[in-house]
Amino acid sequence: MVHFLPEILRVPLVSRAFSLLVVVALVAGCAGRPKGVMVPVAAAPPPAASKVGMLVATTRTPSGDPATLFAGERSAMPYFTAIDISIPPETARQSGTVQWPKRLPPNPATDFAVTKVAQIHTPTEGRQWFRQHIAGGHALVFVHGFNNTYEDSVFRLAQIVHDSKAEATPILFTWPSRAELLAYNYDKESTNYSRTALERTLRVLGDDPDVKDITILAHSMGTWLTMESLRQMGIREGHVHLKIHNVVLASPDIDIDVFAKQYVEMGSPKPKFTIFVSQDDKALAASRLISGNVLRVGAINPATEPYRSQLEQAGITAIDLTQVRTEDSLNHGKFAESPEIVQLIGKRLVTGQTLTDQDITLGDGITAVIAGTANGIGTVAAATVSAPVEIISAAGRPKAKPAEIKDTLFVDPNSEPLTN
């Protein structure tokens, strides 16, 4: 008998992974977008424009070019910079989008534009900046994902803060990403390189008496860095800083088994955890393919067992965005590009309010496993959650069964030689 296999299945797994990454690169490409937008513009923003001021901490090396400020290589010391971004009027943009300039310099009437850059040289200067930009004592720390330049992360946080209407002081932690598709492993190692710097940044922020609470919002590979830093803090102190009230993980690019281990080893008490997942996330499908076919946290279906009961028991809220449609062809940035979702982050999660079933009224098909509710699952269109979307034919690889993570999630961390 002659078997005719799909062409993609006739090549080795590594080649298939490479092919998928190339496809992802083509889909995600941003050809024609000018690089180097960090030089402050001379033109004054129009009266209807908005301004977002942020403090940026980075473990990147300085580029030596004011147009880019920092490169994708690793620095032995952190750098801090205060940056102001002008957001064009609502009539010139859609919520959930970053208006990149088509040419330089940016036009503040139609584009995101940098209006001010100031280096922060001492902790005292950093505390002074925070007092000048205080928003009720709430701090929002954003950790970006894979394949991001310095300017990518700056503009994305500005968009999130503006569109979410979050009453919080924005802090960006940007780690050394080379912003190249085939530098996935370099980027992953850069997150490991940066975990102590993020831990120290969070500790300094938490020790500031003007800070009442901290929300961490991390995306994609940035969720790995966040979990590693919190785990390291927990091992060092027995728990994470008590001012870290909320941790929001969007499209977490983390092995499901490893996530459970990181979660338990950060000690107690823990912050409130919310994860945004989507089973049609093509970027996470590629990550899974090159990571031993282990499901990524951001691609689980939280409405099915064993995840539903285990997440609820662990106190983790999961919001399934599979049915949400945005302009993101990879379905990897829905948390920032969906106006309803980004407003949910700003109005509810950043302020520390507990979600209930009634909060999940964002549209048909959105499902949530709500930590601490009686039934554990949001009532809005729960039955309409679609089956996981396979990016590569399942015939070419063994089907991975759902991971049983309860033994890891609920293990006593004191029973293990974590610090020996």
420 residues of the chain, pLDDT tens digit each = 333 333 333 344 445 554 555 445 444 444 457 889 999 999 999 999 999 999 999 999 999 999 999 999 999 999 999 999 999 999 989 888 999 999 999 999 999 999 999 999 998 899 999 999 999 999 999 999 999 999 999 999 999 999 999 899 999 999 999 999 889 999 999 999 999 999 999 999 999 999 999 999 999 999 999 999 999 999 999 999 999 999 999 999 999 899 999 999 999 999 999 999 998 888 898 988 888 888 899 989 988 888 888 888 888 989 888 888 877 778 788 878 887 788 777 766 666 665 554 454 444 445 555 554 333 333 222 222 222 222 222 333 344 555 566 666 665 555 443 333
**Domains in the chain with CATH codes:** 38-412 (3.40.50.1820)
Give strand pairing partners of 82.
55, 118
Instruction: Please check whether residue 345 is in contact with residue 166, taking contact to mean a CB–CB distance below 8 angstroms.
Output: yes
Cα–Cα distance, 249 to 267 (Å, whole number): 18
pLDDT value of residue 273: 94
pLDDT value of residue 106: 96
User: Regarding beta strands 272-277 and 316-320, do their DSSP bridges make them parallel or antiparallel, or are they unpaired?
Assistant: parallel
CA dihedral 65, 173, 214, 357 (to 10 degrees): 120
Whether the pTM exceeds 0.85: the reply is no
Among candidates 364, 263, 354, which has minimal Cα distance to 317?
A: 354
